[in-house]
Amino acid sequence: MAEKVGSWFAATFPWLPKELVVFFISMLPLIELRGGLIAAPLLGIPVWKAVIICLAGNILPVPFILRFITPIFTWMKKTKVFRPLVEKMESKSMGKSDRIQKYEFWGLVLFVGIPLPGTGAWTGALIASLLEIRFKKAFPAILLGLLLATVIMCSATYLIPWIVGNF
């Protein structure tokens, strides 16, 4: 998926620097840092630069989600058009919230940090917001989770190929 998104960005915006492509990929919900760290080596971006770009791209939307998603959802639920979408998003997110609710900080760290489908900073921030976890607790947990995800994804996309290539 990250390869397709990276190819689409490169074809649609050929003038866009490859670092900006990775930054935008890392900002996208569902793809996030994981996708950015898959696309970065394919675009020839060194690991140190990819880590900085992907972390920045993925963490940028988080404070906005934590602060504003609840009032936005409240407003959207008042409209006939958006109510089903919001209710579906809330339902899906809250369906994944049991461990976060139980362990709060560390649950959020692991939810964001372990790269599985449907997890990540966007969903973690949404769940934290819906569970009314305070910003001062949620933001550091999400950041720590992103650092964990970075280590895991860098191992998969840079370290393992390097080890295999040197044997």
Task: Quick: pLDDT tens for 18-71.
Answer: 999 999 999 999 899 999 999 998 899 999 999 999 999 999 999 999 999 999
Q: How confident is the model at residue 161 (pLDDT cuts 50, 70, 90)?
A: confident
What number is the average pLDDT over the span 78-88?
Answer: 91
Q: For residue 16, tell me if it sits in a domain.
A: yes
What number is the average pLDDT over the span 63-85?
Answer: 93
Q: For residue 157, tell me if it sits in a domain.
A: no
Taking the C-alpha atoms of residue 133 and residue 154, their distance in angstroms, rounded to an integer, is 29
Q: Is the pLDDT of residue 3 over 70?
A: no
Task: Give every CB contact of residue 101 below 8 A, 6+ residues apart in sequence.
Answer: 107, 131
* Residue numbers of the domain that contains 118: 62-149
Same domain? 92 vs 15: no
